[in-house]
Amino acid sequence: METQTNKDTQISTQDIQQSLVDEKSANDEKKKNIKKDLMQALKFLLFSISAGVIQFGTYTLLYEVCGLTHWPSNLIAITLSVIWNFTFNRKYTFKSSNNVPIAMLKVLCYYIVFIPASTWWGIALEKAGWYGLWIEALTMLINFVTEFFYSKYFVFREKKIKKQDN
């Protein structure tokens, strides 16, 4: 009886040790994933800032210098910034080797919703007396946040390979 109890205790100790090793490994993996997510967010932010400079500059040129109204200025500016942002984020932020035409189609789907929505609220805010550059800044902020999550979790998401138990 005593031998069986020692064996049970020994197995329990081994189980506890293995559990602790597994927990440490899981915590290390979580820390690694958090660091990766933060780096992706930082890279996305930096590329978005550069795309934002292109978008804001183009918008300002078209709206202030050329005298276009909000919607054509916004459409041209956002198109240029999307091409820039997609190219760099695919290659450097998400390091995606996904099918490029499919990824571009997914981004197009996002903008098929976003551009009419942002144009609608832009026109409404402009009619309400908002200054066009403030509308553009707000639109760019909303675009930045929503596009990051859309890109990370839909366009460039990584496929998880399940480990098979032996």
The one-letter amino acid code at 155 reads V
The total domain count for the chain is 1
The one-letter amino acid code at 39 reads M
Is pTM beyond 0.95 here? no
> What was the pLDDT predicted at 122?
92
Specify whether the CB–CB gap between 119 and 136 falls below 8 A: no
162 within some domain: no
73 within some domain: yes
100 within some domain: yes
Residue ranges of the chain with per-residue pLDDT less than 70: 1-11, 159-166
DSSP tag of 156: S
CA dist list (Å): 86 to 94, 114, 134: 10, 15, 24
> What was the pLDDT predicted at 166?
46
> What was the pLDDT predicted at 53?
93
> For residues 42 and 73, what is the distance between their CA atoms, to the nearest angstrom?
28
140 within some domain: yes
161 within some domain: no
Which residues span the domain enclosing 140? Answer: 25-155
